[in-house]
Amino acid sequence: MLQILRNADVYAPTALGIQDLIVGGGKILWMGAAAPKIAELAQGLTGNKSILGRETDLQGRRLIPGLIDSHVHFTGGGGEAGFATRVPPLALNQFLDNGITSAIGVLGFDDCTRSTAELLATTRGLCEHGFGAWCMTGGYHLPLTTLIGSVREDLVHLDRVIGVGEFALSDHRSSQPTLAEFLRLASEAHFGALATNKACILHLHMGDGARGLEMVRAALEQSELPAAMFQPTHINRRRVLFEEALDLAADGCPIDVTAFPVAEDEDAWSAEAALELFLETDLPRERLTISSDGGGCLPEFDENGRMTAMEVGRPSSITDCLQNLLNRGLALETVLPFFTSNVAQTWRLQGKGQICVGADADLVTLNSSGRPERVMLGGAFTQTQTSGARDHAAPEPKTQPSKNN
Ligand SMILES: [Zn+2]
């Protein structure tokens, strides 16, 4: 069925002004100043004026590519305070209701009771709904959790597996890997990238440890591996770590900010503050992405290290972040790439993250307050309740959270 979207204020992410779009077969087929009427179009294409079609007048609403969340615990994360703290799996509407049309799944801390097989099956299930889903092999620990025996075999033989991680560094919950072990793991990911043309990024969970990013610096100094394959995440959890990450970005590493809640007195940057700091640098803007850690666990501990409460990371946090940035006065076309085109480029997601002819028709309209309103997934509007469904910011935790996943 052909669809015409009229009077869309398109952010591709570049601001293109008012455009009409013709959508069919899950793709954007045409974009321009004035699309013909659906009957004329059908007649011209097929000789049949009565072909099914629909026109939707977007009345000047902002139209953006669907958001891409590159760090999500599809099958649930957590489990750091016993079995009862394992976070349940995420539901598809937790993405669609927030304008997220693609995501990359990770296992995280719990790579013992959770498996790559379960993650991959969940990823494939999301794909069957038309959602853009991929996942990583491995988890926090060595020996790495894989499905068919090794990192490179998973990367080469499993189409939806496009990276390795989140692999933990500088964290008490990591495997405390040596440089030699880290380099061996990175070499497997690099092999995957060469053999498949997939991104095969080594996605690094950064903990609170003072060692920070020294392992990555050592890897770059002591090996021939390319900087572009190392992507630290949660880099805004400590301010010194963020500075280290900016230095690595200057050397060519992609870096990922997590949109978790940050208390005012915390030695961390909110995703909004981190992005503003990044925009003040001369670094190539495509080096930075923002993800949610959705489905991950954010426990709170008392002074004795006992858990007192637990927050759960939500995909909606990147949507809140985008809205907050607009409320701070940043232009939509300035901030949108960090949630869309940068992610697609870093992870080599064909057809995602931009609005252009030939791209996937994963499209989102924003309401006047910058929240997703209508969501199109693969050329079909979804039955989401985005308008007003989340017109409030995520509640702040009562005590200082620990960013764990
Ligand atoms: Zn993590």
Asked whether residue 27 carries a pLDDT value surpassing 60, the answer given is yes
387 CA from centroid of ligand 1 (Å): 30
Instruction: Report whether pLDDT(405) > 80.
Output: no
For residue 243, the CA-to-ligand 1 centroid distance in Å is 19
56 shares its domain with 138 = no
Q: What average pLDDT does the chain have?
A: 91
Q: How far is the CA of 206 from the centre of ligand 1 (A)?
A: 7
97 CA from centroid of ligand 1 (Å): 24
Report pLDDT for 306: 64
Q: Between these two residues, 4 and 383, which has the higher pLDDT value?
A: 4
Per-residue pLDDT of 355-369, as tens digits, reads 999 999 999 999 999
Write down the pLDDT at residue 300.
64
pLDDT, residue 401, reads 43
What pLDDT, in 10s, does the model give residues 107-166? Answer: 999 999 999 999 999 999 999 999 999 999 999 999 999 999 999 999 999 999 999 999
Contacts of 232 (CB under 8 A, 6+ apart): 169, 204, 206, 213, 216, 245, 248, 253, 255, 256
Q: What is the pLDDT of residues 323-350, one digit of tens each?
A: 999 999 999 999 999 999 999 999 999 9
- Residue 402, domain member (yes or no): no
Distance 374 CA to ligand 1 centre (A): 31
The alpha carbon of 351 and the centre of ligand 1 are apart by a number of angstroms equal to 27
| 182 and 311 together in one domain | yes
Q: Is residue 263 scored above 80 in pLDDT?
A: yes
φ/ψ (deg, to 5) at 157: -100, -15
Q: Is residue 25 part of a domain?
A: yes
Q: Considering the domain boundaries, does residue 404 fall inside one?
A: no
How far apart (Å, rounded) are the C-alpha atoms in residues 24 and 45? 12
- How confident is the model at residue 391, as a pLDDT? 31
- How many helices and strands in the chain, by DSSP H and E? 11, 18
Measured in angstroms, how far is the CA atom of residue 47 from the centroid of ligand 1? 55
Establish if 386 belongs to a structural domain. no
How far is the centre of ligand 1, averaged over its atoms, from the C-alpha of 6 (Å)? 41
pLDDT tens digits for range 86-100 = 988 999 999 999 999
Q: Are residues 55 and 97 in the same domain?
A: no
Q: Are 253 and 287 in contact (CB under 8 A)?
A: yes
Q: Please give the C-alpha separations between residue 209 and each of 18, 172, 174, 176, in angstroms, as whole numbers.
A: 49, 8, 10, 11
Given 111, 293, 320, 362, the catalytic residue: 293
Residue 80 binned pLDDT confidence (cut-offs 50, 70, 90):
confident
Measure 72 CA to ligand 1 centroid, in angstroms: 10
401 inside domain: no
For residue 402, pLDDT beyond 60: no
Report every protein residue that has its C-beta within 5 angstroms of ion ligand 1. Answer: 166, 205, 405
How many structural domains does the chain have? 2
How sure is the predictor about 311, in pLDDT bands with cuts at 50, 70 and 90?
Answer: confident
| Nearest CA among 286, 292, 152 for reference residue 233 | 292
Residue 403, in any domain of the structure: no
Is there a single domain that holds both residue 280 and residue 338?
yes
The first and second tokens of residue 201, run together, are 């990024």
Cα three-residue angle 3-320-209, rounded to 5 degrees: 130
Q: 140: domain range?
A: 66-346
Query: How far does residue 107's CA lie from ligand 1's centre (Å)?
Result: 9
Task: Please check whether residues 300 and 280 belong to one and the same domain.
Answer: yes
In this structure, the answer to whether residues 238 and 361 fall within a common structural domain is: no
Alpha-carbon distance of 285 to 296, in angstroms, equals 27
Angle at 359 between CA 347 and CA 117, to 5 degrees: 45
Cα–Cα nearest to 185, from 201, 205, 161: 201
CA distance 42 to 54: 11
- Which CATH number is 264's domain given? 3.20.20.140
User: What is the average per-residue pLDDT within 25-46?
Assistant: 82
12 and 142 housed in the same domain: no
CA distances from 22 to 41, 54, 192, 353, 366 (A): 10, 10, 37, 18, 19
364 in the same domain as 224: no
What pTM value is reported for the model?
Answer: 0.92
- Does residue 362 fall inside a structural domain? yes
User: How far does the centroid of ligand 1 lie from the alpha carbon of residue 405, in Å?
Assistant: 3
In a shared domain, residues 342 and 365: no
User: What is the mean pLDDT of the segment spanning 368-372?
Assistant: 96
- Tell whether 146 is covered by a domain: yes
Is 320 assigned a catalytic role?
no
- Indicate which CATH number applies to the domain containing 37: 2.30.40.10
Same domain? For 22 and 71 the reply is: no
